[in-house]
Amino acid sequence: MRFIHTADLHLGACPDSGLPWAAERKQALWDAFHTIIRAVREEGIDLLLIAGDFFHRRPLLRELREVNSLFKSIAPAQVVIIAGNHDCLQPSSPYASFPWAVNVHFLSSRTMDSAVLPELNTVVHGFSYHRPIIRDALYDHLSVPQDGMYHILLAHGGDDTHIPIRLNALAKAGFDYVALGHIHQPRLFSKAGIAWCGSPEPLDRTDIGRRGYIRGEIGAAGCHFRWVPCAIAEYKPVTVTVTPSSTSLQIRQMLESRLDPDPRYLYLIRLTGSREPDMVFEKETIRQAGRIVDVIDETQPAYDLDRLEEEHSHDLVARFIRELNRPDAGDLEKKALFYGLQALLPPDA
């Protein structure tokens, strides 16, 4: 029995909203779904598992019609879905009453339910979120019958406010495979047969690294699965160390030669090092170096402390510098020193 496990597609989300490529990013989430549907069709997949947060928020009726017609097109492959915290099943959601195709099994109950798939000798267990926050460890005390069928758990969560998950407890429950959603980075526990597949496309600038889905097989030899990359975009953090002579234009030119111009890469730039005390780096100038989602300035002002101490030998500034600029000063003291000097000194110091 061959399966594809996906989750956290967040259809309808708008990553990089306000940036010039935002429309492309929104479309990329739908493209990821189309890629998975194509993989099901072309690779002879029997079962498509969607472990929550299929939609970023309550789906629209027309969106459900859209996905349902694609699900219908991959029959006889079976599809099992649960709702996660983002697309949780509130009473007014069209999720609750949608007439799905016969090969689609939506586990809409708020308590453990199952989809029995006799043609695949498989039972998929799971339930849906009906509210965005669930603090109870609802997956901690499960066990499956030894009835000769394959048992899969479809589940969503893994942090304190979205069903805390203990891997040890899950591993003991006896599932052939546990298909998890909610965590956007892929995390595979091959021996335990448990995995978070991660989102197939990164959702925002904190979603660093590659994204994809899981393809697996359950048979007499047990369950084997691997992660398959499919994302169009990839967010990459880049740190730039500046010096007191650096300017915004220089940083932009340096980045132009350093960043891969392939539009799939989206960069998050972090500036570190020391700058002229009155230097303000212009983010818009730096951004022109490529597809840069943000520029975070963590530079420290390069004060000439000896000169300042001499010039201010009769006031608070010199005492402040002596107090904080000790050879054993840590990062916190250095920061306090820079912030303190910014506050104490007139703007043209």
Q: Distance between alpha carbon 310 and the CA centroid of its chain, in Å?
A: 51
Contact between 6 and Mn ion by CB under 5 A: the answer reads no
User: DSSP letter at 135?
Assistant: -
Tokens for 160?
């304190």
Q: Which of residues 170-189 bind Mn ion (CB under 5 A)?
A: 182
Question: Which string of x and - marks every residue 42-61 that binds Mn ion (by CB under 5 A)?
Answer: -----------x--------
Q: Tell me which residue has tokens 């000194």.
A: 345
Least separation, in Å, of the C-beta of 8 and Mn ion? 6
CB of 123 to Mn ion, least distance (A): 24
Cα–Cα distance for residue pair 326/267, rounded to 1 Å:
37
Write down the least CB distance from residue 125 to Mn ion, Å: 19
Dig out the tokens for 329 from the structure.
């000063």
Out of 12, 15, 59, 84, name the contact with Mn ion by CB under 5 A.
Answer: 84
**Number of chain residues interacting with Mn ion (CB under 5 A):** 4
Peptide bond into 346 cis (omega under 30): no
Which among 80-88, 105-113, 300-308, 317-325 is the span making contact with Mn ion, rule CB under 5 A?
80-88
- Closest CB to Mn ion among residues 78, 85: 85
Give the type of residue at 222.
G
- CA triple 20-22-28, angle to 5 deg: 135
Residue closer to Mn ion by CB (options 84, 290) is 84
Q: Report how far apart, in Å, the C-alpha atoms of 232 and of each of 8, 65, 96, 207, 263 are.
A: 15, 25, 31, 13, 10
Rounded least distance, CB 20 to Mn ion, Å: 28
Q: In this chain, which of 6, 35, 85, 299 binds Mn ion, going by CB under 5 A?
A: 85
Please identify, among the stretches 79-87, 299-307, 322-330, 332-340, the one whose residues bind Mn ion according to the rule CB under 5 A.
79-87
- Contact (CB, 8 A) for 107 and 82: yes
* Residues forming the site for Mn ion (CB under 5 A): 53, 84-85, 182
